[in-house]
Structure 1
């Protein structure tokens, strides 16, 4: 801090990523913006990327062709070495196995991708603060990056490019670490040539072998641009372990393909959750709409019964509702029973059943009461008729013979009258009596 002002220190960022030859096709497709994850790319600035800074446009195809050539040469040299040593069985075995890839199996692969950049503010806001044009600062950084790559990796830097269409200007480079190793050493006192093999071996470069040394190197190289070395995380971890303290977490840079895979899984999970929530919401909305239709149907039927538009009736021996004839002729705005049934079958069944049963109970009780009252009246009348018949029979004994004969004929009609009254009061009982009498023989008076 000087005179109340301060200067932000921006660290230069250096990253190495493992790379296999079979990944060069995807790497090149992404460089040309024809494949890979392009969601973070500003396509309006892609044309500013320009041609490669190191290597030709067909660098990837050239590299793959060289690797195939190395594979063939190594296989031929191995067979020649075995033939000179007369190892016939080994020759047969190797012919069956075929050529081997010109590198030893490793977790990171035989090649390296190098990424060099700085925080985007250094290229834009900080550049303006110092009166420097952003493009000039990007070009200056690119020149330093290319020089550092060539100084440390020489001809093994087969490609380098600048990306200007992403968040911050950065340099991508590909290292193809070529070397030659011996296949087998000659036996003592045997004059035979040493067999060699061309290989890809990242450890031949100190900057790849020692990551801390690489960070120190770029820190010194870019110091002229006002940039500083990144945090000494590895040194801090070692010091913490030596002193028995908890070491700081090592920052892990996710590989592009790994980040893309996780991002796709995250988006799929989010899409699945949204889809489930959408279906649940639609199901809830459907249930709400169904309940609303049911409630409106019940209400419409109640209003129709109250206004006389719908009247109860027996439908298939079950209580139900029908439209009143007068209502069918005059009503136009009110919904019909068929329309209400279609709107909500459950609401229609519930309402029509309730109102039909209520009507049945109401008028059924009234009919039962009327029938009971009628039966009681007929029984009383029958009792009075019976008593009157007995009085007539007693009085007839005092009358002249001709008069008694006439009274007897009149009394013969009383049983028929009694039966009609009884049938009116209780038809079933009379029918049973008639059935019983029909089975008896007629009596003589």
Structure 2
């Protein structure tokens, strides 16, 4: 009889204590994934994986060690515990390490209400292959598309369980279903490509494969015969497809690890305006049918909604237990971890206040400038927020899209950029990061 994840974690905790650990926690993850790739109407690749991974963190005083394994046999677990304790005894002391106090632990550990798991049957390889074929076929049916470089469909299912010697034990399940397509137009140096894709928890929510293929094709054709704009300072509209990257830079800057190391451009911005007045940036790990939702974090603390930015003002950092102790603050329930290492702070679902104008309205408002739909490379100074990225998209003149653009570099400073943003109202509500298109004034463009 195969042991449950609860059985595995409790068994390993006991073995860690028997080996001499003062405290320990265990994360166990089991899952399967299936992916299908189609090319030129023929099955190109099919991959299936199934695994159970387990990660053990032990404490000997203030000394900590982490070990992981995919071998969950009883004798392997015993060796794993002994090895972890031996490693911990040789590790340097960490004054901020330690499990949560029992009073801090989440009391509601059920996850069914979050709907992170689709109970319908796993799709067959044939069903996934048909999705990939449909996406490719729809893209190739659009005049001007010369080939599809990738058309894929996939499914994954995962169960997660966390247990610790402080009395915590809880778990939940996740599923994901996806389709993606990359279309190519033109030949030689005139080739352009673009993509579309969708990933959902529930298979019934997934967009049709044909729609994904057609959208990938349309986006590709829009990019044909790009030019470079003149170098200068212009407004830039970050399309909804990539606008969350701007907010991602802010989330990285307020991460407790960066703050504790004093290596963040947001270090002095707590309680100050980081977004325009009236805008909120909220984390909500309890959104139904959203991939980042979870009832508790990787240290067993309850997750909860919080305003990261309220009316434009930064309200706090993103903290796990260790960074909270180091900064003399309270943990925010944001610990995240895999089986191969210990916890670190991480934001789950975020959504930003949307504006009153759609994307087309912001394009009209910007007059002359750049709409960015894809970005490559990244040079961002973590201490100053200086920002420079390669970009492609569309040039706007007199409030209308004039021609496609590529090979341009955008430069600015994140502190000033974020204070100037004007949001559209086009964010997709099912994403983990719900961020609309964002207009930023006065960025420097390096073109021709």
TM-score (norm 1): 0.22
Indicate the structure with greater helix content: 1
Which has more radius of gyration? 1
